[in-house]
Amino acid sequence: MRSPLLGGLTPRAFLRRYWQKRPLFVREALPQFAGVVDKRTLSELACRDDVESRIVVRRGTRRETSHGPFTRVSLPERSTLLVNGVNHHVPAADLLLQRFAFVPQARLDDVMVSYATPGGGVGPHLDRYDVFLLQGPGVRRWRVENKQYLAHPGDLLYLPPGVRHDGVALDHCFTYSIGFRAPRGAELGAAFLDWLHERGLPDADYRDRALRPALRAGQVPDAMLAFAQGLLGRIRWTRGDVERFMGEYLSEPKAHVVFQPGTGRRALARSTVRLDAKTRLLYRGQRFFVNGESFEASARNTALLRELADRRSADGARLARTTLAGLILRWHRLGYVNLEKK
C-alpha cells in the first residue's frame, strides 16, 4: 500500500529504491505533525538516570557536549538537548516508532528527540546506521552532501549509513530521529566469543614437562604456539548456536533500561496483552527471544507468540486458553508486558 510517510511509495518500492542507497526528502510525510513530547517533558526525561541524554552547545566553531542525567536543564543560545529512547517513556513516541515496522523489529532501535534553540545543532557528521529524521514544531535547515532542505513540521528526511549531513535549527524546534540497529563486525564477534565462553569454551592448562634450557630467552616457544593453535582449533559452533546468539544479542536491553514490575490483578482473559515499549520479542522458527533470554515454544503456541512479536499485542482471552498463560503472567510481573483493559 502506498504511504504518504514514504512520499507515496509502497514500503517495497522505498526499500528497493532508497534503503541504504540514497537519501529521500518527503514533504508533509505526516501532515500537521505537532510532535508527541513538549520541552518540559523532554527536560524531565533528561534528568532521569534511566535515560540517555546530552546537551550540545555551539560556541563559535567549537561544540561542547555534556552528558546527563542533569539536575536541571538550562539551554543557552545555539544549543541542543538530545534524549534517547523517548519511545520507552512516552506511549505516543512508541506508536511513532511502530510506523516504521515495515523494517524488521530486530533492526528498529529507538526514537531520539532533540530540542534546539536557534542556531543549535550537533555539527556536520555521518552515522553508521539508517535514520529517519522527522521534523516536529519549528524549522531546521539540513545540508545533505551537496543539497539543502528546509524541514517544516511533518517533513521527513531519510538518510542511509555514511551520508554526511548537518542540521541547524532556524528557530526553536524539535526533531524526531528514528534510528536503526546495525551491529558492527568487531562488536558482534566480541559478543559472540563472550556468549561461547559462557557456554563452555575448550579449556586446558599448558604443560611443558620436556622443557629444555632456552637458547633464545626472548623467543616465544614453538610448543606454546602449538598449544594455542590446537586449543583454538577446537572451538566449534553450529548454525543453531549463531541463531540463538543473534536472537539473544538483538533482544538484549541496553544497560540503562529498567523494567517496572506489573501491578494489579487484572484478569488475563479480560485484557489486551501489549508488549512494554522497552521489551524486544523476536523469534526464529519455534525459538523465541525476549530481553536477552530465549526459549523453545511448542508447535501449538508458536503462531500466537509470533503474532504477539509481530504486532506487539495480542488478545488476552486467546492466550488464557493456552499453556502460555503462566508465561504471560510472569512477564507481566517482570514488567515485560502490560495488561490493558479491553
Domain that holds residue 66: 4-180
Q: Do 138 and 190 lie in a common domain?
A: no
pLDDT tens digits for 210-226?
A: 888 888 989 999 999 99
Q: Is residue 148 part of a domain?
A: yes
Question: Are 231 and 276 part of one and the same domain?
Answer: no
Indicate the pLDDT class of residue 231, thresholds 50, 70 and 90: confident
For residues 40-63, average pLDDT: 94
Same domain? 96 vs 52: yes
Mark whether 229 and 319 lie in a shared domain: no
Asked if 173 and 199 sit in the same domain, the reply is no
Q: Above pLDDT 70, what percent of the chain?
A: 99
Whether residue 288 is contained in a domain is answered as yes
Residue 259 in any domain: the answer is no
For residues 2 and 22, the model is more confident at: 22
Whether residue 265 is predicted with pLDDT greater than 80 in this model: the reply is no
337 and 272 share one domain? yes
pLDDT at residue number 107: 94
Q: Is the pLDDT of residue 200 over 90?
A: no
In a domain? residue 252: no
Instruction: Give Cα separations from 143 to 5, 126, 149 (angstroms).
Output: 21, 12, 7
Q: Given this model, what pLDDT does residue 1 score? A: 81
Whether 8 is covered by a domain: the verdict is yes
Q: DSSP for 254-315?
A: PTT--PPPP-S---GGGEEEEE-TT--EEEETTEEEETTEEEEPPHHHHHHHHHHHHHSEEE
d(CA 294, CA 127): 31
Whether the pLDDT of residue 58 is over 80: the answer is yes
Pair (326, 189) in one structural domain = no
Does residue 228 share a domain with residue 128? Answer: no
Same domain (yes/no): 335, 198:
no
- Among the candidates 236, 258, 277, a domain finishes at 236
Question: Is the model's pLDDT at 203 over the cut of 90?
Answer: no
Are 111 and 191 contained in the same domain? no
Q: What is the pLDDT of residue 199?
A: 85
| C-alpha–C-alpha distance, residues 275 and 253, integer Å | 14
Question: Which bin fits 301, alpha (ψ -120 to 50), beta or left (φ > 0)?
Answer: alpha
Does the residue 241 lie in any domain? Answer: no
Give me the pLDDT at residue 94, please.
96
Q: What is the pLDDT of residue 294?
A: 96
Q: Residue 204: its pLDDT value, please?
A: 86
Q: Is residue 298 situated within a structural domain?
A: yes
pLDDT, tens digit (0-9, with 9 covering 90-100), for 124-160 = 999 999 999 999 999 999 999 989 999 999 999 999 9
Whole-angstrom distance, CA of residue 127 vs CA of residue 224: 43
Q: What is the CATH number of the domain that holds 10?
A: 2.60.120.650
Confidence of residue 60 (pLDDT cuts 50, 70, 90): confident
Residue ranges of the alpha helices (H) in 171-252?
185-198, 222-232, 239-251
How does pLDDT run across 271-318, given as a tens digit for each residue?
999 999 999 999 999 999 999 999 999 999 999 999 999 999 999 999
Q: How many CB atoms lie within 10 A of CB 155?
A: 23
Reported as a single tens digit per residue, the pLDDT across 66-112 is 999 999 999 999 999 999 999 999 999 999 999 999 999 999 999 99
Total domains in the chain come to: 3
Binned at pLDDT 50, 70 and 90, residue 342 comes out as confident
- pLDDT of 184: 87
Closest CA to 183 of 245, 227, 121: 245
Please tell me whether residues 159 and 17 are part of one structural domain: yes
Q: What gap in Å lies between CA 264 and CA 16, rounded to an integer?
A: 47
- Residues 34, 171 within the same domain: yes
pLDDT of residue 266 exceeding 80: no
257 part of a folded domain: no
